[in-house]
Amino acid sequence: MSVDQATVRRVAHLARIAVTEEEVVHLQGELNAILAFVDELAEVNVEGVEPMTSITPMTLPLRADVVTDGFYPERVLANAPAAEDGFFAVPKVVE
Amino acid sequence: MSELTRLTLTAAHEGLAQGHFTATELTQAYLDAIEAAGALNAYVLATPEKALEMAKASDARLASGEAGPLEGIPLGVKDNYAVEGVRTTAGSSILKHFVPPYESTVTANLWRDGAVLLGKLNQDEFAMGSSTETSAFGATVNPWRREGSSAPLVPGGSSGGSAAAVAAHLAAGAAGTDTGGSIRQPAAFTGTVGIKPTYGRCSRWGIIAYASSLDQAGPIARSVNDAALLLRSMAGHDPKDSTSAKLPVPDYEAAVGGSVKGMRIGIPREYRVDGMSGEIASLWDEGAQWLRDAGAEVVEISLPHSKYALPAYYIVALAEASSNLARYDGVRYGERVPGRDIVEMYEKTRADGFGAEVRRRIMIGTYVLSAGYYDAYYVRAQKVRTLIKRDFETVFAAGIDAVLAPATPSPAFGIGEKSGADPVEMYLQDVFTVTLNMAGLPGIAVPAGLSGEGLPLGLQLIGRPFGEEALFSLGQVIEEAAGRFTCPDEWWR
């Protein structure tokens, strides 16, 4: 499979990465090179094979659903680009 | 280099225990070496004050008889490990001001055992690369050069800073991470030992994620014994990582020098790929002979799905990366570029903060997970992954204890040599290493010889799940037969 420029723009938007028109041209070539490479998998017979979901034969551990950590909002916010009154601050989302 | 930085980690450990020198003296010797090695760009951040403070505390514990197993040993840490209060970037400009308020479990284990932090080591951005050229802090330069040439070579990647620092004696050992070969390939390129343990052996908690079902922590060191000492401290169960294995950690050092008599070693015929260099092929044969001479039985085996590991990896890893890296949105941490609305803010932040390779990989990952392509790419790749794992299960069930293979298809290449228009050229670096990440298996790269141009070449041993001890025994056989490899010329000083 290969991608056209409209698909490159659509995927970039899905991935929330701004792309310039010039970048779209380059990306189309690069993405198609990678997709051509992985297309080799089409020749493998995977009839009746289960997709891998866990690499080691283990069951995920369970624990009690209780709070074990927290209560330090200032540390949580310490790396935030913008914070106000103990909250992360973002541009207006709801009109 | 000073006499102190020349010592292996094992020898330094003994010297400290016997009081031949102090942790402060050892740490200062490494700090001086780092200071003089700016040309290698191995460290993205040196932490001399913290190092000397930790060394002083080590000296106190050594004096009072409370020394830990790594007491006073100066280490470098790849920049994708969160270290509390120390800038941690994963080689990305989107995290250029990120200072974690917490400590990764693996580094916490190292400090618990007395190790000293020298600083943070360069890497490919978010561990996406095989040359350490995609770092936002510029490329790391391999301390090794081709004979008679001053052309700069890559140290491999993504743990290229870790490998270069260990090879150039800028750290007694280093912590790296390996998602598709990122410990073993740089180890092979720099004449150092690197082990990627079994998936689940080390906790991933606090390590900046690339592809969570493949990422594992592991050491890079100057000898097999050094690597065994480091892994013993790094490994162990961690309730904070639900995929970490609830198994006791063996004394890996005890396995170094252990007999390999009667072990069955597989040589996979599918690894004899087209275009493999003659010197790699003959090194591989030589390695098999060393193991035979030590009493192991070497047999040809088949891992029929090997050639599909790399394409399947580039679907699985990139899909996981696109999901993992969604968190860098300019809201909770990292850089932010303002926009008219929140979507524009996300898009500008990510376009500006991520480098070209990371953007490319996120986009491929997004594409293979998107509606209409999910089954054709992602589900198919996960099925192929089941087949790759089954190949190994079949040979292990038939009595194979470990698999011997080259670590890389070539020695170190030049900076800029493989960063052209076709990203796949770089991806092929991982052809021998990626299979076992896909199968969750442990693998060790051990230096085994020099190329015709005087560059280190490595062999790789692949073990059964949690079979690291056998790898240390077998790795030691190779080290004893091949010798250790020290960079002949400290041109960077």
Confidence of residue B453 (pLDDT cuts 50, 70, 90): very high
- Whether the per-residue pLDDT at B1 is higher than 60: the answer is no
Asked if B486 reaches chain A (Cβ–Cβ under 8 Å), the answer is: no
Highest mean pLDDT out of A37-41, B170-174, B272-276 = B170-174
Closest CB to B347 among A18, A30, A34: A18
ipTM value, please give it: 0.95
Asked if B423 reaches chain A (Cβ–Cβ under 8 Å), the answer is: yes
Are A44 and B333 inside 8 Å of each other by CB? no
Residues B383, B97 contacting (CB under 8 angstroms): no
Residue B265 tokens read as 């070693």
| C-alpha distance from B103 to closest chain A C-alpha (Å) | 13
Note the pLDDT of residue B13. Answer: 98
C-alpha distances out from residue B188 to B193, B232, B287, Å:
7, 22, 14
DSSP B18-82: TTSS-HHHHHHHHHHHHHTTGGG--EEEE-HHHHHHHHHHHHHHHHTT---TTTT-EEEEETTB-
Confidence of residue B229 (pLDDT cuts 50, 70, 90): very high
Report CA A22 to chain centroid distance, whole Å. 24
| C-alpha distance from B420 to closest chain A C-alpha (Å) | 10
Asked if B247 reaches chain A (Cβ–Cβ under 8 Å), the answer is: no
Instruction: Report the distance separating Cα A55 and Cα B437, nearest Å.
Output: 9
Choose among B320, B321, B351: nearest CA to B335. Answer: B351
Asked if B484 reaches chain A (Cβ–Cβ under 8 Å), the answer is: no
Q: What is the pLDDT of residues B68-110, one digit of tens each?
A: 999 999 999 999 999 999 999 999 999 999 999 999 999 999 9
| C-alpha distance from B150 to closest chain A C-alpha (Å) | 32
| C-alpha distance from B295 to closest chain A C-alpha (Å) | 31
Note the pLDDT of residue B415. Answer: 96
- In our burial notation (b when 16+ CB lie closer than 10 A, e otherwise), range B231-255 reads bbbbbbbbeebebbbeeebbebbeb
Choose among B444, B449, B441: nearest CA to B475. Answer: B444
| C-alpha distance from B448 to closest chain A C-alpha (Å) | 30
Report CA B416 to chain centroid distance, whole Å. 21
What mean pLDDT is reported for chain A? 93
List B residues 449-478 in contact with A (Cβ-Cβ < 8 A): 465
Asked if B389 reaches chain A (Cβ–Cβ under 8 Å), the answer is: yes
Distance, first Cα to last Cα, chain B? 9
- φ and ψ at B77, to 5 degrees? -130, 130
Using an 8 Å CB-CB cutoff, list chain A residues near B385.
Answer: 51-52
Are B383 and A61 inside 8 Å of each other by CB? no
Closest CB to A34 among B348, B362, B364: B364
- Cα angle at B30 between B159 and B140, to 5 degrees? 30
Note the pLDDT of residue B429. Answer: 85
Asked if B63 reaches chain A (Cβ–Cβ under 8 Å), the answer is: no
- Whether the per-residue pLDDT at B420 is higher than 80: the answer is no
- Whether the per-residue pLDDT at B274 is higher than 80: the answer is no
Are B364 and A35 inside 8 Å of each other by CB? yes
Instruction: Report the distance separating Cα B180 and Cα B423, nearest Å.
Output: 15
Instruction: Report the distance separating Cα B483 and Cα B290, nearest Å.
Output: 12
Q: What is the mean pLDDT of residues B322-341?
A: 97
Note the pLDDT of residue B426. Answer: 85
Sort B170 into a burial class: Cβ within 10 Å, 0-12 / 13-18 / 19+: buried
Asked if B330 reaches chain A (Cβ–Cβ under 8 Å), the answer is: yes
What single-letter amino acid sits at B61? Answer: R
Q: Which of A16, A69, A92 to mutate to test the interface with B (most CBs of B within 10 A)?
A: A16
Closest CB to A37 among B200, B311, B370: B311
Of B52-56, B197-201, B272-276, B391-395, minimum mean pLDDT range: B272-276
CA atoms within 13 A on the CB side of A23: 14
Closest CB to B384 among A11, A44, A55: A44
- Whether the per-residue pLDDT at B234 is higher than 70: the answer is yes
Confidence of residue A61 (pLDDT cuts 50, 70, 90): confident
| C-alpha distance from B75 to closest chain A C-alpha (Å) | 26
| C-alpha distance from B32 to closest chain A C-alpha (Å) | 32
Note the pLDDT of residue B277. Answer: 82
Closest CB to B389 among A31, A52, A80: A52
Q: What is the pLDDT of residues B243-270, one digit of tens each?
A: 999 999 999 999 999 999 999 999 999 9
Are A80 and B333 inside 8 Å of each other by CB? yes
Closest CB to B366 among A11, A63, A92: A11
- φ and ψ at B334, to 5 degrees? 85, 180
Asked if B345 reaches chain A (Cβ–Cβ under 8 Å), the answer is: yes
Note the pLDDT of residue B140. Answer: 98
Q: Which residue of B has its CA nearest to A63?
A: B239
- φ and ψ at B32, to 5 degrees? -65, -40
What single-letter amino acid sits at B81? Answer: Y
Report CA A9 to chain centroid distance, whole Å. 16
Q: What is the mean pLDDT of residues B330-341?
A: 96
Are B239 and A61 inside 8 Å of each other by CB? yes
Instruction: Report the distance separating Cα B153 and Cα B31, nearest Å.
Output: 24
- Whether the per-residue pLDDT at B52 is higher than 80: the answer is yes
Note the pLDDT of residue B276. Answer: 80
Residue B473 tokens read as 């025994």
Instruction: Report the distance separating Cα B297 and Cα B176, nearest Å.
Output: 32
Helix axes A21-38, B356-369, angle to 10 degrees: 60
Note the pLDDT of residue A15. Answer: 98
Instruction: Report the distance separating Cα B445 and Cα B375, nearest Å.
Output: 35
Contacts of B200 (CB under 8 A, 6+ apart): A56, A58, B243, B244, B245, B440
Q: What is the mean pLDDT of residues B310-337?
A: 97
- Whether the per-residue pLDDT at B237 is higher than 70: the answer is yes
B414 forms beta bridges with B153
Fold of B3-262+448-456+471-482: Amidase signature (AS) enzymes (3.90.1300)
Are A79 and B329 inside 8 Å of each other by CB? no
Count of helices and strands (H, E) across chain B: 17, 11
Note the pLDDT of residue A58. Answer: 79
Asked if B213 reaches chain A (Cβ–Cβ under 8 Å), the answer is: yes
Structural domains for chain A: 5-42 (1.10.20)
Asked if B85 reaches chain A (Cβ–Cβ under 8 Å), the answer is: no
- In our burial notation (b when 16+ CB lie closer than 10 A, e otherwise), range B399-432 reads ebbbbbbbbbbbbbbebeebbeeebbebbebbbb
- Mind telling me the catalytic residues of B? 78, 158, 182
How many interchain CB pairs under 8 A, A with B?
Answer: 167
Confidence of residue B22 (pLDDT cuts 50, 70, 90): very high
User: How many other CB atoms sit within 10 Å of the CB of residue B81?
Assistant: 27
- Domain ranges for chain B, please list them: 3-262+448-456+471-482
Highest mean pLDDT out of A55-64, B417-426, B432-441 = B432-441
Using an 8 Å CB-CB cutoff, list chain A residues near B330.
Answer: 81
DSSP structural state of residue B463: E
Q: Which residue of B has its CA nearest to A47?
A: B383
Confidence of residue B389 (pLDDT cuts 50, 70, 90): very high
Note the pLDDT of residue B427. Answer: 86
Are B99 and A79 inside 8 Å of each other by CB? yes
Confidence of residue A55 (pLDDT cuts 50, 70, 90): confident
Asked if B363 reaches chain A (Cβ–Cβ under 8 Å), the answer is: yes
Note the pLDDT of residue A59. Answer: 82
